[in-house]
Structures are given as C-alpha cells and as structure tokens.
Amino acid sequence: MSKDKNKESNQKQELSEWQKRNQEYLKKKAEEEAALAEEKEKEKQARMGKNSKSLEESKKLSSDSDQNETVPDEESSEKEEKPQKDDPKVNEEKVKKKKEKPEKPAKPKIAPVHIWRAVSILVPSTLVLLLSVYLLTPLSTIKNVEVKGNSNTQADDIKQASGIQDSDYTLALLLDKEKYAERIKSNHWIESAKIDYQFPTNFTIEVKEFDIVGYYVSGEEYYPILSSGTVESTPVNRLNLPETYLTVTFNDEQQVKELITGLSTISEDIKSQIQKIELAPSKATADLLKITMLDTDEILVPLSELSKKLPYYSKIKPQLTEPSVVDMEAGAYSYTIADKLIEEAEEKAKQEAKEAEKKKQEEEKKKQEEQGNQSQTSQQSQSR
C-alpha cells in the first residue's frame, strides 16, 4: 500500500500546472452537467402544467447554461493552443509541412492555334452535313417562279424557254441564274432577260421584249415585224392593231432585216409618218422601195441606201406645197403626184397604143396567112 501511495504521490508531483487546472475544469464541468440534467428534469415536469412564461424562462436558463459551457471550452482551447504556439519545435514542423505540401499544378491553357484549327474543321463539316440533309429533303426543289415584263408572250412559254424544271434544285437555279436567263433569249420575242432571287424560294424572271416596228400584210392577215427583223408567224387580230402603224408588203427575211436595220437609224419624226413600204424595182435599181407617207407623199429610195438618203426627206418636205413624189433613186428631186398621174396616164396610153398597134399587126398578119392558105387550097383543087 505504501508503494501505491508513493506512486500516486509521485504522479501528483509529476502533474504539471496546466494538467491540474484541466482536472479541476473537468470536475467542475461534470458537476455542472449533473446540475444541468437535474434542472432539465425539473423543467420537463414543470412544462406540463406551466404557461408560456415558464417556457420562456426555461429557454433563457438553458441559453445561459450553454454560454457557461462554451466559455471554459474557449479557455481550454486557448490554454491548449498557447503551449503549441510557444513550442518552437511545433512551429518548425508546421513550416516544414507547409513547404512540403505540393502546389496544385495550373491547368494548361489551350493555344489559340488549336482552337482555330478545330473551328476551321468543325464549321465546314457542319455546313456540309446541313447541306446534304437539305438536298435530300423535298424542300430543296421548292421554288416559286414569276414572270414580269411580258405583253406579247405567255409566261409559260418563257418558263419553257428558260429550261427551269420542277425537279431542279433551288440552289442550282440560284447559282446558275445567268445560264437560265440566257436560254430565255431563244424565244424570238425576248431581247433580254434577268432572273432575280428573293429569300427563301422566290424567283422573278424580268424580260424585255422586242418592239413591233411594223406589220407584214398578206391578204387580210397582219403579221408583226419585230425590231430584231423577225417576222412573227402568227397573225394578230385586227382589233388589236394600233391606231397608226407601218405596213410592209414583202417578207423576204434578208430584205426585212436590212429594212429594219436601215429604219433604226432614222429619226422617230420621219418613221412615225411612214404608212406603207413596198418594193418597186426599176430597170436600174432592183431593190428600189416605194414609201408612202401618212400625208400621201411618196418616196422612192433604194433599200441599200435607205439610212443614207431617207433623212433628207425632212429637208425636202417643207418645200412641198402639195402631195408629191420624192425620187431618191439617183440624186434627189421631187414632182407632184398629179404630174406623176399624168405621166403614168400618158405612159399607159402609149402602152395601150403600142399594144393596139401590135394587135392590129397580128390581125393583119393572120388575115394574110388565111388568104394564103385559101389560095393554096384553090390551086390544089384546080390541079386535081
């Protein structure tokens, strides 16, 4: 026993000042906890019969007791931390641990070059994929085609000339607009054509038709002559003819084109006065034209010299006091239509006189032949 007591006494002596305080604190804390437990038991019993005031008071008591508990904890933690802070070895170990802790490596940044490379591959690939899907769907052939500027041709004829099919891809039409527009010119009425696109599937064909310069007259039919020199094969209804128009009595393709080319250089003032153009070849000029004006003036001019000589009519016209013939076959001079009629009547009379004389001669010759035949027959009968 004496040995145990000695050990206990030695242990007590060996306890440091801080350990003693800690033991005292623990005892004190155990007593407080026991007291607290008793109070809580009392409170539980009292809660059943007490009003709300007693409940508030019990809450205050419990909060006060919690504060008392935390204070010694803080004191003990401070007491525990103090010796650690004061111990140089502990401080050195903490510093070493901090140094030894490996720093987290920073995440490597992606270089902009790689980003651009990825974008340059992904974007075209996505576009190609979308385009492929679009071309496989019926949406790729949906298009609305409208024709504008046509008055003498049907919209369906223009569409047919363009070669646009319902099965054609909308994208193909958009990319080859010029090619389709060029095809429309195969229609002899069309001078120029242009295709415009409106999002999403609307196309407008704007055409410009050749002007109608005049009409080729054959019997009771009137065929339009276009400014390109082409004679339309389909006659127009006479009710659709304008108030004033130019008529041509020949339809030779080469001569008509030459006529339209010559008239294209003539002023509108002169062209608007022309009523009729016909061929009137003479012994000296095979391509001589007879141009009848609205005021009944007549102009004789070679087709090959039309653009050169016809403009002089505007200078000669003011000098004419009555309907006249302006002869430009060789040089340029004029005479009245009355004189022409007299001359034509004289020529006609001369011609008729010649024909009568010729007829008379033929009759006399015939009589002589008949008389000769009769004499021959009488001689033959006498000889028998």
Assigned fold of 140-209:
Ubiquitin-like (UB roll) (3.10.20)
Q: Which one has a higher pLDDT value, 83 or 195? A: 195
Give the dihedral sign, CA 11/16/20/22: negative
Listed ranges 48-52, 220-224, 376-380; the one with the highest mean pLDDT: 220-224
Region 157-180: what's the mean pLDDT?
Answer: 92
* Cβ–Cβ < 8 Å for 300, 310: no
CATH 3.10.20.310 residue window(s) in the chain: 140-209
CA triple 195-196-197, angle to 5 deg: 125
46 has a pLDDT exceeding 80? no
- Mean pLDDT computed over every residue of the chain: 80
Across-strand partners of 207? Answer: 193
Measured CA to CA, the distance from residue 285 to residue 341 in angstroms comes to 21
Measured CA to CA, the distance from residue 154 to residue 234 in angstroms comes to 14
pLDDT at position 72 is 41
Lowest mean per-residue pLDDT among 35-49, 55-69, 95-109, 370-384: 55-69
Measured CA to CA, the distance from residue 208 to residue 181 in angstroms comes to 12
Assigned fold of 212-340:
Rossmann fold (3.40.50)
* Cβ–Cβ < 8 Å for 330, 284: yes
Q: What is residue 289's DSSP assignment?
A: E
Listed ranges 53-62, 68-77, 271-280; the one with the highest mean pLDDT: 271-280
Percent of the residues in the chain that have a pLDDT greater than 70, as a whole number: 78
Within 10 angstroms of residue 288's Cβ, the number of other Cβ atoms is 20
Give the model's confidence band at 61: pLDDT under 50 very low, under 70 low, under 90 confident, else very high.
low
Q: Decide the pairing of beta strands 202-209 and 212-218.
A: unpaired
Helix axes 52-86, 17-47, angle to 10 degrees: 170
* Cβ–Cβ < 8 Å for 321, 334: no
Measured CA to CA, the distance from residue 65 to residue 223 in angstroms comes to 122
pLDDT at position 70 is 42
Listed ranges 286-290, 339-343, 355-359; the one with the highest mean pLDDT: 286-290
Measured CA to CA, the distance from residue 376 to residue 370 in angstroms comes to 10
CATH 3.40.50.10960 residue window(s) in the chain: 212-340
224-269 per-position pLDDT tens digit: 999 999 999 999 998 889 988 999 999 899 999 999 999 999 999 9
Contacts of 135 (CB under 8 A, 6+ apart): 169, 171
* Cβ–Cβ < 8 Å for 362, 355: no
116-157 per-position pLDDT tens digit: 888 888 888 888 888 778 778 888 889 999 999 999 999 999
For tokens 């651009």, name the residue. Answer: 116
pLDDT at position 36 is 83
pLDDT at position 189 is 95
Q: Shortest CA distance to 227 belongs to which of 263, 194, 192?
A: 263
